[in-house]
A and B are shown apart, each in its own frame.
Chain A
């Protein structure tokens, strides 16, 4: 990593913005994926599973945001977020009913 980039990444405004993005955007993506997974894995019929996924999604979102802000290392936050999002995305794709799109 060159020096300029390292400098930017250590600036306070960058750190604040990066964490906010992790919470808001990263959190939103992960919320959707986990709510979708939940709706796929629940045993009842699909309409009520979708409802369940939707009504709990905001609680999931809040949980992720709190987590993002409770971990000290920003790099750790992004690493965990991206890995979890990738895993969830892969499983979601595998479980997705055929002919949806």
Chain B
């Protein structure tokens, strides 16, 4: 069948690797960056809601429960469900939430739908605290698979397609890398791209198991959307048949009965606490809720904080009419080997089970993924730049990609910094402030993408890198200062009180800032070297000098409309 020689196979895999990567690099980079931030979604939200009261360990859960229940009875006397989250684990506030039946929109046939409300409570008084509205870390997390400004289903398809390109990039990368290793002593690349290639290899190979896991499990997450054929071929089309399939694969706890419409008095939520504490010990509840409130089939559900291996902790279900324990679950049951595989992969992807150390490892691995994409993009451009310099002519496509690289790689990070700045600077009662936070992310990213073109006739590409890296360094570096000026949860207080989550956020921003400043400094040194070569030699005759300048004026003035890829 395959008449190609080994060399041809390697050539075609190399081609596929390059183009599969470049074609969707921007979205993949976006997915890796926002997804990495998603590993700290709760912590980011905590920072973005500085009004959140600091956790006081002196208050026990049962008294918090009494306060929360009092508040729920006041604001949601008729709600069919009540839920309470305790400030424990990665939850940083005592919060309550409940559904209210409302007509959400006209095209829903006037049907009533649940609209969820939530409040953060003061731990001492149980009174609600006005926390600013924010997209928090969850918006960043959500964007990494649904993107933004487009319908989420379209987002799922696009991110899945990009993940598929990523999978191809990984497989072909492994094929190429093996070959490169074999030919190590005969293969010599140009020096300049050599260092970028080394970096690309390190960022790809070191966390390779992570990359493979994260890509394949990412695809699995959205498989019910992107691979519906298999399901339909056995169960038939339509929502109902789909539900039949879900019922078959997810083993449901029999205790979750539906309402029967017979009213009954329910016991108070705090009354189950003595029994719970006897089983789990004190202060181990992460959430508690009541479903079918006011009905004879009402039940109270509690979840234990922490994880058992990959699985979430234990849960308890009580009858809410007589207080009997109905069900004590320990982990989920899988209906099949494939389901087990699916569960393990998706749990590994989310990493919900991980403690602080492992979570940092996840975050760093994710950033290394972003770095892998970024260095791939730079490598693509630098290879072509070297070739172009030899010819003395750079194509418009190359110039376009070089500019796009800066605006993508540094620009997105500037955008995220702007998101945090907007969180502190937008007035607390600003209309739709949570949306404007995100708008400011995309507006500033768009600006950084446009900037390289706007200054093209006066600044070389190296200088544009320096500009944007400096902006990033300043924005991240001044975030703790801005935090100091606008809130009480600045480093001065958080370090003293040992609030390592909030202090950790500010300190991480400072570390980022130092990294950007260092990169800017290195880039500036490089640019100075280029300029020095330019000045000391005769510009007209020295071919080398011209070649080393990243963009000569002649190339830069070319109108952008002419640029084609």
A66 pairs with B168, CB closer than 8 A: yes
B233 pairs with A92, CB closer than 8 A: yes
- Please name all residues of chain B whose beta carbon is closer than 8 Å to the beta carbon of A61 when the two chains form the complex: 164
- Please name all residues of chain B whose beta carbon is closer than 8 Å to the beta carbon of A40 when the two chains form the complex: 233-234
**Interface members, chain A 19-64 (any B CB < 8 Å):** 31-33, 35-36, 39-40, 44, 46-55, 57-59, 61-62
Which of B216, B219, B341 has most A Cβ within 10 Å? B219
Task: Let me know if B245 is at the binding interface, CB within 8 A.
Answer: yes
Q: Which of A48, A59, A70, A97 meets B335, CB within 8 Å?
A: A48
B170 nearest CB neighbor, chain A only = A62
Contact segment of B11-19, B53-61, B444-452, B519-527: B11-19
- Please name all residues of chain A whose beta carbon is closer than 8 Å to the beta carbon of B233 when the two chains form the complex: 36, 39-40, 92, 96, 100
Task: Let me know if B337 is at the binding interface, CB within 8 A.
Answer: yes
Contact segment of B133-141, B223-231, B291-299, B400-408: B223-231
Q: How many residues of B contact A (CB 8 A)?
A: 41
Task: Let me know if B171 is at the binding interface, CB within 8 A.
Answer: yes
- Please name all residues of chain B whose beta carbon is closer than 8 Å to the beta carbon of A39 when the two chains form the complex: 230, 233-234
Q: How far is the CB of B511 from chain A (nearest CB, A)?
A: 36
Q: Which of B12, B231, B337, B345 meets A50, CB within 8 Å?
A: B231
- Please name all residues of chain B whose beta carbon is closer than 8 Å to the beta carbon of A3 when the two chains form the complex: none
B342 pairs with A69, CB closer than 8 A: no
Q: Which of B8, B15, B227 meets A54, CB within 8 Å?
A: B227
Q: How far is the CB of B535 from chain A (nearest CB, A)?
A: 42
Question: Are A51 and B4 also in contact (CB < 8 A) when A32-B230, A39-B230, A58-B219 are?
Answer: no
Alpha-carbon separation in the docked complex, A48 to B342 (Å): 11
Q: Is the interface of B mostly helix, strand, loop or mixed?
A: helix
Which of A33, A57, A69 has most B Cβ within 10 Å? A69
Alpha-carbon separation in the docked complex, A69 to B32 (Å): 26
Task: Let me know if B106 is at the binding interface, CB within 8 A.
Answer: no
Q: How far is the CB of A101 from chain B (nearest CB, A)?
A: 6
B338 pairs with A58, CB closer than 8 A: no
Alpha-carbon separation in the docked complex, A39 to B338 (Å): 11
Q: Which of A51, A57, A101 meets B336, CB within 8 Å?
A: A51
Question: Are A69 and B248 also in contact (CB < 8 A) when A51-B342, A53-B230 are?
Answer: no
Alpha-carbon separation in the docked complex, A48 to B249 (Å): 7
Task: Let me know if B235 is at the binding interface, CB within 8 A.
Answer: yes
Task: Let me know if B220 is at the binding interface, CB within 8 A.
Answer: yes
Task: Let me know if A71 is at the binding interface, CB within 8 A.
Answer: yes
Q: How many residues of A contact B (CB 8 A)?
A: 37
Alpha-carbon separation in the docked complex, A36 to B216 (Å): 19
Task: Let me know if B393 is at the binding interface, CB within 8 A.
Answer: no
B227 pairs with A97, CB closer than 8 A: no
Task: Let me know if B331 is at the binding interface, CB within 8 A.
Answer: no
- Please name all residues of chain B whose beta carbon is closer than 8 Å to the beta carbon of A11 when the two chains form the complex: none
B237 pairs with A101, CB closer than 8 A: yes
A35 pairs with B227, CB closer than 8 A: yes
- Please name all residues of chain A whose beta carbon is closer than 8 Å to the beta carbon of B232 when the two chains form the complex: 100
A70 pairs with B234, CB closer than 8 A: no
A47 pairs with B236, CB closer than 8 A: no
Q: Which of A55, A71, A72 meets B223, CB within 8 Å?
A: A55
- Please name all residues of chain B whose beta carbon is closer than 8 Å to the beta carbon of A71 when the two chains form the complex: 1-2, 4
- Please name all residues of chain A whose beta carbon is closer than 8 Å to the beta carbon of B8 when the two chains form the complex: 72
**Interface on B for A, CB 8 Å cutoff?**
1-4, 8-9, 12-13, 15-16, 164, 167-168, 171-172, 216, 219-220, 223-224, 227, 229-237, 245, 248-249, 335-339, 341-342, 345
- 5 closest A-B pairs (Cβ-Cβ)? A48-B336, A47-B248, A51-B338, A32-B229, A52-B338
In the assembled complex, 12 residue pairs joining A and B whose CB atoms fall closer than 8 Å, in A order, are A33-B229, A35-B230, A39-B233, A47-B245, A48-B337, A50-B245, A54-B224, A55-B220, A55-B345, A69-B12, A71-B2, A100-B232
**Interface on A for B, CB 8 Å cutoff?**
31-33, 35-36, 39-40, 44, 46-55, 57-59, 61-62, 65-66, 69-73, 80, 92, 96-97, 99-101
16 A-B pairs besides A51-B342, A72-B3, A92-B233 with CB distance below 8 A are: A32-B230, A46-B234, A50-B245, A51-B335, A52-B336, A53-B230, A57-B223, A59-B216, A62-B167, A66-B171, A66-B172, A69-B15, A70-B4, A97-B234, A99-B236, A101-B237
